[in-house]
A and B are shown apart, each in its own frame.
Chain A
Amino acid sequence: MIPLNDIEVDSVTKCFEDMVAVDSLSMSVEKGELFGLLGPNGAGKSTLTKMISGRLNPTSGTIKVGEYSIKDDPMKVKELLGVVPQDIVLYDYLNAKENLSFYGRLYGLSGKNLKNRINELLQFTQLDEHAVKRHVSTYSGGMKRRVNIAAALLHEPQVLLLDEPTAGLDPQNKHALWDIINVLKKQGKTIVLTTHMMDEAEELCDRVAIMDHGKIIALGSPSQLVKKVKMENTITVVPDKTSPSLIEQIKSLSDVKNVYSAPDECAKSETLKVITDCPDDILPDVVSTIVSTGTKVLSVQLSRVTLEDVFIMITGRSLREE
């Protein structure tokens, strides 16, 4: 029978001497799912991914990738997996093609097959044909990241482990990599994405597991997790003047739960706080309603509940706190 899940982690514990890095953790990742592992440094994310990739053996528990156990069939599991490490793991003295050729040969590719696959991936990751002939040491951070990902895709793995793939990238390169990850998801790859970037997890992941102290402390889709937080999304608008009728007009808009006004010392005016579940959707309506009364909008700000808020609510501390 073909398994429904590509990754099954069952009661896995990993201890380093006295320290428990992963504590009796169970989870599963469905076929074609983009699964986020979120948590602060030391939460156990890297230890878990190292165990899934076969770099570490669990102290107890079992891990299956596809239909194979990592303990009993490590080589078959490795064939199924493509791993993109957090660091740029490439040979500086080789060019992109040579690096890809090396990793391709480790996965059993050779000859024309390997050459074609390298060309496909260079195109897929939008690496310039001329640039790839230079040594990797001369590449920008974004180019290195793309080669780093291409190296994991050579053998067309079913399951991808991406460990903070956009760490240290500027917004432009980060979004370019998100596009690549989204394409991979559309291709049906099962992806485990380790990150501590909220926007990344919210943008990309179907489901997110928040880890802390070696355990999963929350699991669900980003929207499900956000709903657990008893906070509200807010649109804060500063018009040059307000009136009770304007407030009533805004209240009458669909999806607006409530509107409060409060004095704004900076603008020497009143600030309107619009409470809603879907701030992105109704923002244009709120602004056009205000403008239609002949009132100018001085500023607009969206305050949404994020996964960061979820994490703070659950653990009482920020994701980036050491």
Chain B
Amino acid sequence: MSLKRSLNQIAAIAKTDFLGVIRNKTAIFFTLLFPLFFIIIIGFTFGQSGTESMSSISIGVVNFDGELVAVNATDSFNCTIGDQFIQAMESVNFTIHEYAEYGDKDTNATATYAISRGEIDAILVIPANFTETLAFHYVNDFGAPLPTKAHLELSVDPTDTTGALITQQSVLGFISGFVKHYQEIAIQQAPSDLTAYIEVLADPLTVITDEADVTENELQWIDYMVPGTLGLVLIWSGLNHASMTIATERTKGTFQRMVIAPVSPMVVLLGKLISALAIVYMSAFIMLLSGVLLFQVNLYWDIPLIILAIFLGALSAIGIGLIISSLAKNEEAANSISVIISVPLQFFIGAFFPLTMMPEAAQVFGNALPFTKMVNAMQDVMTRNLPFDAVVPEMLYLAASGLILFALGTIAYRISLKRL
């Protein structure tokens, strides 16, 4: 059979399958509009949370920058840059509460006491050597600046995991922006013969947090949700659609009619795969576009990587769907099984809330899911602006699970051919 003929058959099957969704009001709601409604609801509910309205984020600052610190064997208590740092935070609308002590939860008027009562969202400790380090006060015997680090300590409220994530990313985003601005000034003011040296030295800040990720964007809550929703798209559009496609056609008899035509079963499968992928991509596009247009999501767009991740994740979703669709007795059974699997599954992929909130067994289960890897990879790429190298493990996991699950789906599909 010629390749042209097979391609024509694949295109016909894919088109017909796709039209089945586009022209079915129920299917179009659950496949395309439900994700849109979801992002709108999330956007309007949580969209204003984040660094764009940072006055809602309260930071308890413990500024040790004015304390004595030994610099080149001399005591120093310069706090100029620490104060400027705090002013800069206020200028971008963080609500700042200054505390003299880090303290503990039982000692009134300390930062830990305040965070334990929910009065502040995070504690930021500015070290005593902050100004001295950023002003290059540490020099060698010849007067040349020494590489020195100032360690900012950021502690977030552990009782509010999702809020903590936002706060942490917001502060990190601010610090990243502050460092960038500082570097420009430092390099500008450096003597011409020391410019190259200062370029190396002018990265003096480290931030000690649970997740020391840095983003230069100012982030909103919805910015975290959008990459997560791509995982949900795989489940809603990929898994659910694929789980119905063969079962529905078998119940209606159209599948049997396809099989009695001179069409290879693999051609039918490829047509179905293309249609399912088109639906997943369309759904993802609607989700992302609505995020951009309605809520101005502030993300990084590594389009080829996003497309690849969706493809690999979709293989897993479609593979599971094919298994359900092939083995279910009829359309209704496939629908029931699909709901039973997909509804709980969406809570285990880290899209709604971090997996760390869940019991250990649930975390293990969630982390084993390809959709979770997809969400993690997309959050790394789209929110944290990490390069491809940083998500290679997730992508390999997605590729391996995608191939395995799709292969299992294909086997189930071939078994189902014997039941016609």
**Chain A 51-68 against B: per-residue CB contact (8 Å), 1 yes, 0 no?**
001111000000000000
Partner of A55, one of B5, B256, B262: B256
Whether the pair A89, B262 counts as a contact (CB closer than 8 A) is: no
In the bound complex, CA of A98 to CA of B16 (Å): 9
Whether the pair A94, B19 counts as a contact (CB closer than 8 A) is: yes
In the bound complex, CA of A135 to CA of B25 (Å): 14
B161 lies within 8 A of chain A by Cβ: no
**B11: min CB distance to chain A, Å:** 7
A79 lies within 8 A of chain B by Cβ: yes
Contact status of A79 and B262, CB under 8 A, knowing A89-B252, A106-B12: yes
In the bound complex, CA of A56 to CA of B263 (Å): 16
B24 lies within 8 A of chain A by Cβ: yes
Whether the pair A105, B20 counts as a contact (CB closer than 8 A) is: no
In the bound complex, CA of A281 to CA of B366 (Å): 82
Partner of A85, one of B12, B16, B257: B257
Q: Which residues of B contact A122 (CB under 8 A)?
A: none
Residue among B252, B260, B420 having the largest count of chain A Cβ atoms under 10 Å: B260
Contact status of A54 and B260, CB under 8 A, knowing A75-B1, A89-B254, A93-B24: yes
Contact status of A83 and B260, CB under 8 A, knowing A93-B19, A105-B12: yes
A103 lies within 8 A of chain B by Cβ: yes
Q: Which residues of B contact A54 (CB under 8 A)?
A: 259-260
CB-CB contacts below 8 Å: B109-128 with A: none
In the bound complex, CA of A90 to CA of B253 (Å): 8
**A117: min CB distance to chain B, Å:** 14
The count of chain B contact residues (Cβ–Cβ below 8 Å) is 25
**Chain B 14-28 against A: per-residue CB contact (8 Å), 1 yes, 0 no?**
011001100110000
For B257, give the chain A residue with the smallest CB separation: A89
A78 lies within 8 A of chain B by Cβ: yes
Contact status of A105 and B8, CB under 8 A, knowing A89-B252, A93-B24, A94-B19: yes
Contact status of A89 and B256, CB under 8 A, knowing A94-B19, A102-B12: yes
**A295: min CB distance to chain B, Å:** 58
B258 lies within 8 A of chain A by Cβ: yes
B9 lies within 8 A of chain A by Cβ: yes
Binding site secondary structure of chain B: helix
A260 lies within 8 A of chain B by Cβ: no
For B20, give the chain A residue with the smallest CB separation: A93
A118 lies within 8 A of chain B by Cβ: no
Whether the pair A55, B252 counts as a contact (CB closer than 8 A) is: no
**B99: min CB distance to chain A, Å:** 65
CB-CB contacts below 8 Å: B231-261 with A: 252-254, 256-261
Q: Which residues of A contact B262 (CB under 8 A)?
A: 75-76, 78-79, 106-108
In the bound complex, CA of A55 to CA of B23 (Å): 30
**B156: min CB distance to chain A, Å:** 51
In the bound complex, CA of A167 to CA of B258 (Å): 22
Whether the pair B5, A108 counts as a contact (CB closer than 8 A) is: yes
Contact status of A91 and B260, CB under 8 A, knowing A105-B9, A108-B5, A110-B8: no
For B1, give the chain A residue with the smallest CB separation: A75
For A152, give the chain B residue with the smallest CB separation: B257
**A67: min CB distance to chain B, Å:** 16
Residue among A87, A106, A110, A151 having the largest count of chain B Cβ atoms under 10 Å: A106
Q: Which residues of A contact B420 (CB under 8 A)?
A: 55-56
Partner of B253, one of A87, A94, A110: A87
Whether the pair B257, A83 counts as a contact (CB closer than 8 A) is: yes
In the bound complex, CA of A209 to CA of B399 (Å): 56
Whether the pair B261, A107 counts as a contact (CB closer than 8 A) is: yes
Residue among A76, A105, A151 having the largest count of chain B Cβ atoms under 10 Å: A105
**A321: min CB distance to chain B, Å:** 26
A81 lies within 8 A of chain B by Cβ: yes
Whether the pair B8, A108 counts as a contact (CB closer than 8 A) is: yes
Q: Which residues of A contact B23 (CB under 8 A)?
A: 93, 135
For A111, give the chain B residue with the smallest CB separation: B8
In the bound complex, CA of A90 to CA of B249 (Å): 10
**Chain B 255-287 against A: per-residue CB contact (8 Å), 1 yes, 0 no?**
011111111000000000000000000000000
Q: Which residues of B contact A87 (CB under 8 A)?
A: 253
Whether the pair A91, B257 counts as a contact (CB closer than 8 A) is: no
Q: Which residues of B contact A98 (CB under 8 A)?
A: 16, 19
Contact status of A106 and B9, CB under 8 A, knowing A55-B420, A81-B260, A91-B16: yes
Whether the pair A89, B1 counts as a contact (CB closer than 8 A) is: no
Q: Which residues of B contact A108 (CB under 8 A)?
A: 5, 8-9, 262
**B177: min CB distance to chain A, Å:** 52
CB-CB contacts below 8 Å: A235-266 with B: none
Whether the pair B263, A89 counts as a contact (CB closer than 8 A) is: no
Q: Which residues of A contact B261 (CB under 8 A)?
A: 78, 103, 106-107
Whether the pair B8, A85 counts as a contact (CB closer than 8 A) is: no
Q: Which residues of B contact A106 (CB under 8 A)?
A: 9, 12-13, 258, 261-263
Can you list the 10 inter-chain pairs with the closest CB atoms, starting with the nearest?
A: A105-B12, A78-B262, A93-B23, A106-B261, A89-B253, A89-B257, A75-B262, A53-B260, A108-B5, A102-B16
User: What would 14 A/B residue contacts be, using CB atoms closer than 8 Å?
Assistant: A54-B259, A54-B260, A75-B1, A78-B260, A78-B262, A85-B257, A93-B24, A94-B19, A102-B15, A102-B16, A105-B9, A105-B11, A106-B261, A108-B9
Binding site for A on B (CB under 8 A): 1, 5, 8-9, 11-13, 15-16, 19-20, 23-24, 252-254, 256-263, 420
